[in-house]
């Protein structure tokens, strides 16, 4: 009987309405913050690849200039 009463009490408290937020302070925007972690996780390898590509292009240009200077 006590178990049934406890379960019923828990169910009734779980079904109650949540407390409304204060009207003085507006809620924080969540949509702008929610997707930054995923975007950053996707963007980080792309940025790294672009940096490597730029460095490889500079190295290639330097090698081509060295070959031309050597009479190639």
- 35 or 4, which is more confident? 4
Residue holding tokens 């500079």?
Answer: 58
pLDDT above 80 for 35: no
pLDDT above 90 for 25: no
Q: What is the pLDDT of residue 33?
A: 60
- 46 or 14, which is more confident? 46
Q: What is the pLDDT of residue 18?
A: 76
């Amino acid at each position: 009987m006590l178990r049934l009463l406890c379960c019923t009490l828990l169910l009734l408290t779980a079904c109650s309405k949540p407390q409304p937020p204060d009207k003085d302070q507006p809620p924080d925007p969540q949509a702008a913050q929610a997707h930054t972690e995923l975007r950053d996780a996707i963007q980080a390898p792309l940025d790294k690849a672009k940096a490597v590509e730029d460095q490889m292009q500079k190295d290639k240009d330097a090698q081509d200039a060295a070959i031309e200077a050597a009479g190639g």
